[in-house]
Structure 1
Amino acid sequence: MKERGKAVSIKDIAKKAGVSISTVSYALNGNGKVTDETSARILAIARELNYTPNAAARTLKKKESKILGVFLTDFQGDVYGELLDGMKEVCSSQGYDLVVCSGKQSHRLLPERMIDGAVILDQTFTSDELLGYAVQNHKIVVLDRELEHPNINQVLLDNKAGATLATEYLVEQGHKKIYIVTGPEGSFDSMQRMKAVRMVAERTEDVEWIEIPGDFKKSGGEHAAERIMKEYTEPVAVFCLNDEMAIGFCNRMAETNLLIGEHIHLIGFDNIELARYMQPRLATIDYSKRKWGALAAEQLIKLIHGKKVEHERIYVTLVEGDSVGKAESHTLQLP
């Protein structure tokens, strides 16, 4: 028996079986070059020695791991669950496994070829870093930036269309003072949504637009609520660039006499599950997170197999809710 803690190698099996290393390799991989009798004896010895294949060595030899990586900035956020479910469903149907990573140390899985390709929704990757990997023939699908390279495919959410729907909806309801609670600095989604907001603002007359820095977390909505409470003199509209901040905003407002849908007209973005149960129902921007994840995985597998892919976009729709009403319907001042 091998000493406790020491890994068993193919060489150990070959020595005990009295055969060459290549014969053991053939037997372990089911190659027909080895007779059934010899193969059965080698497999029995491998079990006896508790042999475990070296995944890294196997990956290098076969040039594939049958594993896809998805890289996230962090694991917070209600969007990720459905997104990952969509990816996993496609991976399972195509014979791939999925690993979910976060943090700069995990980036090495790509250049070390421990995974066959990567889906990126992670600000810790620079665009230059991803382009460098693409030049080395690594296959990548990006969900959070625009990059042009034959080995990179874009599957992007239509952020601009969603933000346009949200802000135009508030304007159509007659609101003349609109607060925008932004996302974190450097966020692609936030930057794209804010571009659309500013375009709507430029072509809209007699509306005051006020930006409040946010963070895509409940805390960002809570901080925005604190500011708006201090500045409040008459009904206003608020567009939180994601639902989590909108929920945080509502939580803080629930501690005051200001009512959502009457004094504060609120719309979010993402239509996360929790938002669907809020009272009043949160107006928001909807899209299929599961489809987004599934499409990303499908495109990555196509890239890996050398198939042609086109950039894709996930479309959005407006979900109206009682959290937004017409401006002229609720003009009473608070006592």
Structure 2
Amino acid sequence: MATIKDIAKRAGVSISTVSYALNGSPKVTNETTEKILAVAKELNYIPNAAARSLKTRETKIIGIFLTDFSGAFYGDLLQGTKELLVRKGYELIVCSGKQSRWMLPERMIDGAIILDVTFDSEELIRYADRGHKLVVLDRELTHPNINQVLLDNKAGATLATEHLIEEGHRKIYAVTGPSGSFDSKQRLHAVMQVVERTAGITLAIIEGDFNKEGGEHAAKRIMAEHADGQAAAAVFCFNDEMAIGMMNYIAEHHPETRVGEHIHIVGFDNLELAAYSQPRLTTIDYSKRKWGALAAEQLVKLISGAEVENERIYVTLMKGKSVGTA
């Protein structure tokens, strides 16, 4: 692999001149710069990002760490993140898995956005103690090098639960996410608070997984418990993936059961897929693109040394087909 020394020897200039030319410095004439760039291209020179970052102390690359890439959730979030970073002169690298974490301590990235439950909070604090800049989307951490951009889970879950109660339901099924999910824990806590302060309401909790399969398993249990058809079931699925899975299961295995009449379902996330459900799913809406963009903006501010405050992404209830009283 060609080095700066090889380019300098071939071009007949000093190593420092090559370095200046490759970095666009005005210290080198246009003629010399063009000559050096031509030689670099001829030798198939590839800049050493690690060496450059040690010299400049920046890579202009941001990492976003995700638990996985499955489902329809991440597209808008990543698009919003990328669009903001491009405007700020940064590139984005998307990571998943423990082996990719070496990029933080090795300073191969200038900072990171975290939406990954497999990261221990203690580990993130250690990185922050070493000066790494982080924005977390999935937990509450207090540190001068960490900023929080959190979804208003409690408000969304409260809106969903109160909606079902206002429709006349006295029993509500809550289909949660995985046990380690920060978002799921916050949503469940809000549901329980609403139920506790509302007389005559009972709550049944079904552990899900934020995937369609979790919604299908929950639907199987709920349909078995409502086989007599005496009362409509009310279900709050903690994300749209599970709500769609539930609706698909009912359509396939219980075609006589009509969603919106015999079973009332509320989701969370307002995925594009939910707009095509029949009937249209009632769900909690927020801008995933804005969430990603705001996280990126806060991280760029942290890196530049600007003051930042923790931010929250607000939510609204988007009603699908109106439901009748149970």
Shorter-chain TM-score: which interval? over 0.9
Alignment map for 1:1-335 (pairs within 5 Å): 7-232=1-226, 233=228, 234-255=231-252, 256=254, 257-322=256-321, 324-327=323-326
Instruction: Answer yes or no: is the 8 Å Cα contact 1:87–1:294 preserved in 2.
Output: yes
Misfit runs of 4+, over 6 Å: none
Moved more, 86-95 or 36-45: 36-45
Q: What letter is aligned with 2:317?
A: L
CA root-mean-square deviation = 1.4
Deviation at 1:29, TM superposition (A): 2.0
**Which SS does the other structure have where 1:254 is aligned?**
helix
Alpha-carbon distance between aligned partners in 2 of 1:101 and 1:323, rounded to the nearest angstrom: 41
SS of 1:165's equivalent in the other structure is: helix
CA distance in 1, matches of 2:31, 2:155: 65
Instruction: Work out the CA distance in 1 between the residues paired with 2:315 and 2:31.
Output: 61
Percentage of identical aligned residues: 69
Compare 126-135 and 42-51 and name the one that shifted more: 42-51
Question: Do the aligned partners of 1:242 and 1:268 also contact (CA within 8 Å) in 2?
Answer: yes
Amino acid at match of 2:247: C
User: Which AA in structure 1 matches 2:207?
Assistant: P
**TM-score, normalised by the number of residues in structure 2:** 0.95
> What TM-score do the two structures reach when normalised by structure 1?
0.92
Distance in 1 between residues matched to 2:17 and 2:319, nearest whole Å: 67
- Tell me how many residue pairs correspond in the alignment: 321
Shift in CA distance, 36/273, structure 1 to aligned 2, threshold 3 Å: closer
Q: Which runs of 5+ in 1 are unaligned?
A: 1-6, 328-335
Could you report, residue by residue, the CA deviation over 1:269-304 in whole angstroms, capped at 9, with x for unpaired residues? 111111112111111111111111111111111111
**Is there any run of 5+ residues in structure 2 with no aligned partner, and where?**
none
Indicate how the Cα distance of structure 1 residues 323 and 186 shifts in structure 2: closer, same or farther if over 3 A, else same: farther
Q: CA deviation at 1:114?
A: 1.1
- Distance in 1, matches of 2:122 and 2:178, equals 21
